[in-house]
Homo-oligomer: A and B are copies of this chain.
Amino acid sequence: MRQYPAACGLGIALAAISGKWKATILWELHSRPVRFGELRRRIPGISEKVLSEQLRAMETDGLIRRDVYDEVPPRVEYAVTPAGASLNATVHALAEWGLEHVSDIRAMATAGGR
């Protein structure tokens, strides 16, 4: 993994949401637990491979927990931990910043509409 420098707190937070998908995944879990397939459908463009990898990393990092149910078809749910929920408050602030400054920011990669 990329080593993040900087202020000790900021480095940790940046590592937590590093990469293209983690912040989005974390936000998709903010209101309730979600299953793998539903996550995949709600996040356009993400591959099963990358989704699986990111979920594993976030579970390892303590941001989310993975609940396996003894059912057929298999049912696995992902939910935020307290730490993940707390970080989601900041992710929400980021999104609000983005909405407020969408017209101020030039040459910025556009997000998919949602």
Contact = CB atoms under 8 A, between A and B. Distances in A.
Given A87-B97, A105-B62, A43 B6 contact: yes
Contacts of A46: 5
A22 to B, nearest CB: 9
27 contacts: A2-B109, A3-B110, A5-B24, A5-B44, A6-B43, A6-B111, A6-B112, A8-B99, A8-B111, A9-B95, A10-B23, A10-B24, A10-B91, A10-B95, A12-B101, A12-B110, A13-B97, A17-B94, A60-B106, A61-B107, A61-B108, A62-B101, A62-B104, A62-B106, A83-B104, A83-B105, A90-B93
Contacts of A97: 9, 13, 16, 86-87, 90
